[in-house]
Every structure is written in structure tokens, then in C-alpha cells.
Structure 1
Amino acid sequence: MSSLSQAPLVVHLIYRLDFGGLENLMVERINRMPAQAYRHAIVCLTGYTDFAKKISRPDVEIYALDKQPGLSLGTHAALWRLLRRLKPAILHSYNLSAIEYAPAAILAGVPIRINGAHGRDHNDPHGTNRKHNALRRAMLPFYDCCYANSASMQDWNRDVIGVPEHKSRLLPNGIDSDKFHPRAAGQGRALDVFPPDAIVIGAVGRIQDVKDHASLVAAFVLLRERLPQLRAQLRLAIVGDGPLLAKLRAQVDAAGIADAAWLPGSRNDVADILRSIDIFAMSSIAEGTPGSALEAMCAGLPVVGTRVGGLPEVIEDGVTGALVPASSPAAMAEALERYVLDPALRAHHGEAGRMRVHRKYNMAAMVAAYQSLYDSLCERKTKFRNQVKSCVE
């Protein structure tokens, strides 16, 4: 039997495998983690899209449980059967949508269970929903680790949910600095979507409620009103797919800015897109550590973001970008205006952001941190250590 087939299996349990920051970084970790250390499988509670093609490892299998809305007890049974067949060492579930399946993993004999808090839903951006928090607390005994990808989320996990110290860990996101880098001096835009003299404000991410792209569109409309002399140069790019894309396009049409906005849906050339815009914007009402903001900073862009979740940990206000209140188009328009009018400020803050990402959020460190978590839990579980010599060999 080959060493690869003997490597412990990690089953990643997510709601849906589709275009998104969480999903993108999960795939990056799977692709980059040494194959001799761990095998991987992805189980989607609902389904998956062509985004799955981003997985470069040929040994990764993807399963869809086709969960229906509501409690769907059959999904618990289906997962139990699948885990019994796969016999993974680790169940790694993501966010609230997958947290309730740890008991099924225990019944299936999975020795290690991990849940990651990567952000919150739009209907509970501040984590105050009593029903949701009761579920999180109820699941704590079934997990060996409940980590967070931002310090604010980790503090909330401990203070509100009651995650004990020995089950808590901070695992920040990481970015590929070779893939995401600024335009070279004197170089034109990587894409010819925009006129040479355009000033492009861009956002990349899944088009869903928690991202509040509607406020960004409203801010762009206000920005054009504030700067009539630059109206012809201002452009808005919102890249990504999601359940609200059609509604967002309708908002753009109704606002009369269709000729100045580009909403192409899902794209696989995000690095080139970032080298084609000038200012990055995040209008989210809740966030963990946003990979899209880190990618933009790595590409040398200043970031205007909302003061929610992990964004203030990533964006240093007045140094690498600007922080504004959530759901405030006026405040976002004002912050964007400063960068539109001052190219030197854009360059200065963009370079500061790039250096910050290189210093604190590199991809190799992220992959190593997740592997270290897997290793330490494998070593801690005596029963599993007796089954497999060691997860770290």
C-alpha cells in the first residue's frame, strides 16, 4: 500500500462548494498541503458548481448530499453512512451551516472533529441569534477544536459561545503573493474591459446578502454625484456569482449606471481583475478575515471597507485603506472620493497594504498552521494514534 493511501483522510464538510472566499482558501489549502501528510475529500451538504475544477489534486473526491431546507434528518443519516464508508481521521466542518453534524461523525467513528468560524450569515451579522448560539454551545462537547480566522471571531467564540481555551485557536487566512501582485510601473491594465483613463472601483466576492453590494452600488451613485467632473471616468466592477446577482444587476439598471458598471458574474482571472482596478471596496455587514481584501492588498490596492468583524484587523485605517460604518453609502462614497482624487494616496496606501500582507498573511504560513492543527489533534487522540503510527510521520 502506498504512503499516500495510508495518509489520514480529512473530510471537509461545507454547505455548498461555489465561488466564495471561504471555499477558495479551503481549496488552496487542499491543493498545497503535502499529499503524503493528508488525503482530502469534500462533502457538500447541498451541491457544488464548476468551482470544483479549481482543485488540482487528482485524489480529492467530492460528494453532494442534496440537503433540503429545514432540519432534514435524512442528511444526518446520509452523512453517517458516508463517513462510515470513508473512515476519515478528521471531520473539518465550516461555519454554523455545518456545525450540527459532529454527533453523526462521532457515531460513525470519526476520532477528530473540528469546526471553523469563518464569518456569520447576513441574518445574524453580530452573532446575537439565541437559537443559533444555543446550537453552537450544544455542539461544543462534540468538537476537539473550534477555531476562528479572525481575532474578533475568536474573542466572540470564547466570550459568547464559551469555547474553552484548550479548544480555541486563531488561524488567519493567507494569500499567494506570487499570484497576486501589483501592476508593474508603466504597465497598463491586465484586462481591456475599462478605458485607459478610467478610475475603477472594484469588489470581488459572492453576491449574497452578507456582502451588501447594494450599499456599494448606492455609494457609487453618490460618488458620481459628488464628482460630476469625473463622471465619465468612474467605473464600478463587482465580480462574483450568487443568489442576488440578478437583483444587483437590476439595481444597476434602475440607477442608470449600466454603462459605467461591470458585473460579469463568476470569473477565474481574479488576479488579472485586481491588476485592472484602482480602489477595492468591501461593503459587508459581517466578515471573518476576508480573503478578497487580502488579495486586493497583495495586488497593491487601497481598501475601503466596513468596520465589521475581522476587517479592522486587516485594514489599518488611514494607513492601508479606510474603514467606514456598515450600510452607509454616504460614508463609503466619501472615503472612495479621497482615493479617486488622490492617485498618490492610492499608491501609498496600496504599497503599505501589500507589505502588511507579506508580513502577516502569507499562504505558506496558513497551510502550515492548518497542518499543525491536524497533526496536534492526531497526536492527542491515543486511539487514533494506535490505528495509524502518527499523523506527523
Structure 2
Amino acid sequence: MKKSVKRVVHVLFSGLGGHGAVMFGMLDAGFYSDAEHLVLLTGVEPPLQDYVDRLEQRNIEWRYVRKQPGRAYVSFYKTLRRAIFESDPDLVFVHGLATIPSVVWNRTRAVVLVRETEPQSTKSKKDWGALAVAHANVDAIVHLTEDAAKTASAKLRALHRPGKVHIIANGLDIDFFSPARQGSHAILEGDIVRLGMVARLQPSKDHLTLIDAFDRLCSDRPSLDARLEIAGDGATLPAIEAEIESRGLQSRVTLHGTLGAEGVRDLLRSLDIYVHASLGETMSNSIMQAMAVGLPVIAGAVSGVTNMVTPDVGILYTSRDVHALKSAIAGLLDNPEQARSLGAASRAQAVRLYDARTTARAYEDLAEQLFRAKAGM
């Protein structure tokens, strides 16, 4: 019998990231639709306006718990802990590892579930420490893939609690992220070729190799009218801007900054090819979104990508290899039928594997299992 859940608290990063996309997809898919939901947006960055607008449109309560820049961790964790538990929630859904200290030593009746999303290849010592603390203190840790779970087990060893580990893939609203209206855009049939990438601008993303490959492609094909569209914001923005300027690509490369959900969808719908230059992922929401929109995908062959981008939906290249990336793009430009076939297969795979309704039901089933265990049933 399903537990009567009155209140769910979600804890996630206040800026752009996959956490918000997954949460909104689940909420729109009816995740504990009869419960009250409180969303706590946390971090140094102010809440993304798109998140605020979408929460208020859905009449979902939210708060911003700001972390001061620097090392003011203790006061931040205490403030966040009060915000999490003061309303006596039934379920606390923590997206990511950054706020784990706020949910340790849980003395309430709430079930605490952590969705672990940081790429295994880019985890810091602090991240691994937070994951070890989570294993000791929370009710469940959800990994997005079997590979991520195996890597964590090997790394944590005796600190790993296998009974708390579960695998649930990300999902998204495949009706919202869908191909453009029939006939309004056809892959590689326009006068201008549009490539694009959507991601936070951070060291784990390889935007500089993407820009280099794009520049070489344009130099090799002077008659090619191509554009590179980059959406996102973050720490590596100055380096990316400098690279674009040094190559004289200002008229060909557009930096869109942070886009809301509709902006991301509309940008993806305008592209011919989606390129994801990355040094490591867990399960990329941007790739899922591009696939759902029906785009062929070219991506770095790194952990967290190779399990998504298979030969029937896209092309993998050796990460950081600018020549391999340029060749992969050129190959699709020379074979538009292949590009369109990959795009159609991408959409079909997204519908089959990445529907947020499946993800929402899986998390509800897990929560029910945890409620029964907590009650001693």
C-alpha cells in the first residue's frame, strides 16, 4: 500500500545544471503529485530565473539558501539543515553531493534519498568524502548508471554500503523536448549549418577543443556557411571568449549564456548537429535533450557518454582529439542522409529510455520501499 506522503523537500543547486531538468521532469510527470513540495535552491549563484518562474507557475513553494563565497561552510550547512527539516518532511530528495553535511544525523522520521550525479572521473577528494558520509548517514544513494555504482564501490571499499545503492536513470519531458513541427526544420537542408552544445562552462567540459575543431573545419571548407551555438555560463567563460576572439570567430560563434527550458529546446531545434565535448559525465541531460529533439549526436568517448551515444544514434570521438572531432563533423556534413537517420534513431531511443514518467515511478517505488524499511515492515 502506498504511503500517504504529505511533504517532499528537494535540495538542489541554484544555478544551471542537470539537477533542475530532472526535478522538473519528475514533477511534471506526477512525482507524489498529492504532496506539498518545497524546493530549496542552494549555492553561491542566485536562483536561475527560469527555475523561479517554473516553480511559481506550478505554485510550488521554494526558498534560496545562499552560500557565502569562501569557506563559510558551517553556517551554510546549519541554515540549510533548518530549512530542510523544520517543516517535518516525509521525504528529503537531495540532488548531488555538495549539501550532504546538512542531512547527516537525521533524527526525524524523514527518509533521505541522495541522487548522486557527479562524474566519477572528475570527482574531487571532497566529493568522495561526501559520498562516504552519505553512505553512512542517508537511507539511499541513487546512481544513474551501473558503471557509476561499480566505480563508487571500488573507490569507497569498506565505507561502501551496497544495501543502500540503487540505479535509476535520468528522465526528461519527452513531449516538451521533441522535434520541431514537421517541415519547419530539416537536418542539413538549410543554407547555414548549425552546430551547438549546451552545458555549464566549466573545466570538465572541453569547449576549447570544440572551438578549435570548428575553426579548422571552416578553414578547410571556405564555402561552408557554418555557425557554432554555445549555451551555458560558468567559470571558463573568459577563456572561451578569449579563444573565440583570438581566432576571429565572433561572427560565427554565438555565446547564448544561460537559457531557460524553452530557450534550450528552441536552440536545439534550430541545430543540425549536436556536439558534446566533455571530459567526463555521469548521464548527460544535454545529450538526452538533444536526442529527444531528434538530433544526431557527436560526443567525446568518455565515461557517462559511451553508455548513451551508441553507433545507431551518434558518433564518438577520442576526447581532446581536435582532428577526430573535426573529422566526425565533416563526415556527417558529407553524408546528410546518415545525419538524418541518426537523428531519427536518437528520438526513438529518448522515447524508449528517457521518459520522465518512468523515472518518477521508479523514484516513488524506491521511496515506498524506504518508508517500509524505516517503519520496520
**What TM-score, normalized to structure 2?**
0.88
Summarize deviations over 1:179-235 as a string: whole Å, max 9, x none: 222245542479xxx9940111111122222222222112211222333342xx111
Instruction: Give the letter aligned to residue 173 of structure 2.
Output: D
Evaluate the alpha carbon distance shift between residue 195 and residue 297 of structure 1 in structure 2; reply closer, same or farther with a 3 A threshold: closer
Q: Following the alignment from structure 2 to structure 1, what is the Cα–Cα distance between the partners of residues 54 and 237?
A: 22
Aligned to 2:340, which of 335, 341, 347?
A: 347
Q: What is the aligned partner in structure 1 of residue 152 from structure 2?
A: 157
Q: Following the alignment from structure 1 to structure 2, what is the Cα–Cα distance between the partners of residues 95 and 329?
A: 31
Superposed, 1:127-206 pairs within 5 Å as: 127=123, 129-162=124-157, 163-188=160-185, 196-206=190-200
Instruction: Give the letter aligned to residue 362 of structure 1.
Output: D
Q: What is the aligned partner in structure 2 of residue 389 from structure 1?
A: none
CA drift of 1:325 comes to: 2.1
Q: 2:60 aligns to what SS in structure 1? A: coil
Evaluate the alpha carbon distance shift between residue 161 and residue 350 of structure 1 in structure 2; reply closer, same or farther with a 3 A threshold: same
- Do the aligned residues in 2 keep the contact of 1:324 with 1:331 (CA within 8 Å)? yes
Q: Following the alignment from structure 2 to structure 1, what is the Cα–Cα distance between the partners of residues 79 and 306?
A: 40
CA drift of 1:254 comes to: 1.6
Q: Following the alignment from structure 1 to structure 2, what is the Cα–Cα distance between the partners of residues 132 and 25?
A: 21
Matched, 1:50 2:42: no
Q: What is the aligned partner in structure 1 of residue 6 from structure 2?
A: 8
Q: 2:270 aligns to what SS in structure 1? A: coil
Q: Following the alignment from structure 2 to structure 1, what is the Cα–Cα distance between the partners of residues 125 and 64?
A: 31
Q: What is the aligned partner in structure 2 of residue 118 from structure 1?
A: 117
CA drift of 1:84 comes to: 4.1
Q: Which runs of 5+ in 2 are unaligned?
A: none
Instruction: Give the letter aligned to residue 136 of structure 1.
Output: L
Evaluate the alpha carbon distance shift between residue 309 and residue 39 of structure 1 in structure 2; reply closer, same or farther with a 3 A threshold: farther
Summarize deviations over 1:347-391 as a string: whole Å, max 9, x none: 0111111111111111211111122222221222118x9xxxxxx
Matched, 1:102 2:93: no
CA drift of 1:276 comes to: 0.8
Evaluate the alpha carbon distance shift between residue 270 and residue 276 of structure 1 in structure 2; reply closer, same or farther with a 3 A threshold: same
CA drift of 1:296 comes to: 0.9
Q: Following the alignment from structure 1 to structure 2, what is the Cα–Cα distance between the partners of residues 85 and 134?
A: 26
Summarize deviations over 1:111-154 as a string: whole Å, max 9, x none: 3222111123xxx7344x44542442233110111111123212
Evaluate the alpha carbon distance shift between residue 21 and residue 135 of structure 1 in structure 2; reply closer, same or farther with a 3 A threshold: closer
Summarize deviations over 1:298-336 as a string: whole Å, max 9, x none: 2111111112222111100x3211112222222211111
CA drift of 1:280 comes to: 0.2
CA drift of 1:256 comes to: 0.8
Q: 1:178 aligns to what SS in structure 2? A: coil
- Do the aligned residues in 1 keep the contact of 2:204 with 2:279 (CA within 8 Å)? yes
Instruction: Give the letter aligned to residue 313 of structure 2.
Output: T
Superposed, 1:258-277 pairs within 5 Å as: 258-268=250-260, 269-277=263-271
Q: Following the alignment from structure 2 to structure 1, what is the Cα–Cα distance between the partners of residues 85 and 22?
A: 27
CA drift of 1:238 comes to: 0.6
Matched, 1:334 2:327: yes
Matched, 1:250 2:242: yes
Evaluate the alpha carbon distance shift between residue 158 and residue 228 of structure 1 in structure 2; reply closer, same or farther with a 3 A threshold: same
The more displaced of 233-242 and 135-144 is 135-144
Aligned to 2:352, which of 323, 344, 359?
A: 359
Evaluate the alpha carbon distance shift between residue 70 and residue 260 of structure 1 in structure 2; reply closer, same or farther with a 3 A threshold: same
Q: What is the aligned partner in structure 1 of residue 276 from structure 2?
A: 282
Q: Following the alignment from structure 1 to structure 2, what is the Cα–Cα distance between the partners of residues 294 and 84?
A: 33
Tell me how large the CA RMSD over aligned residues is: 2.6
- Do the aligned residues in 1 keep the contact of 2:117 with 2:144 (CA within 8 Å)? yes
Q: Following the alignment from structure 2 to structure 1, what is the Cα–Cα distance between the partners of residues 50 and 109?
A: 28
Q: Following the alignment from structure 2 to structure 1, what is the Cα–Cα distance between the partners of residues 162 and 15?
A: 33
Matched residues, number? 366
Q: Following the alignment from structure 1 to structure 2, what is the Cα–Cα distance between the partners of residues 87 and 180?
A: 35
- Do the aligned residues in 1 keep the contact of 2:26 with 2:171 (CA within 8 Å)? no
Instruction: Give the letter aligned to residue 99 of structure 2.
Output: A
Instruction: Using the aligned pairs only, state the percent identity.
Output: 22
Instruction: Give the letter aligned to residue 172 of structure 2.
Output: I
CA drift of 1:260 comes to: 0.9
Instruction: Give the letter aligned to residue 275 of structure 2.
Output: A
Q: Following the alignment from structure 2 to structure 1, what is the Cα–Cα distance between the partners of residues 9 and 26?
A: 13
Summarize deviations over 1:71-112 as a string: whole Å, max 9, x none: 6211222223323422112222222312232225x15x2532
- Do the aligned residues in 2 keep the contact of 1:315 with 1:321 (CA within 8 Å)? yes
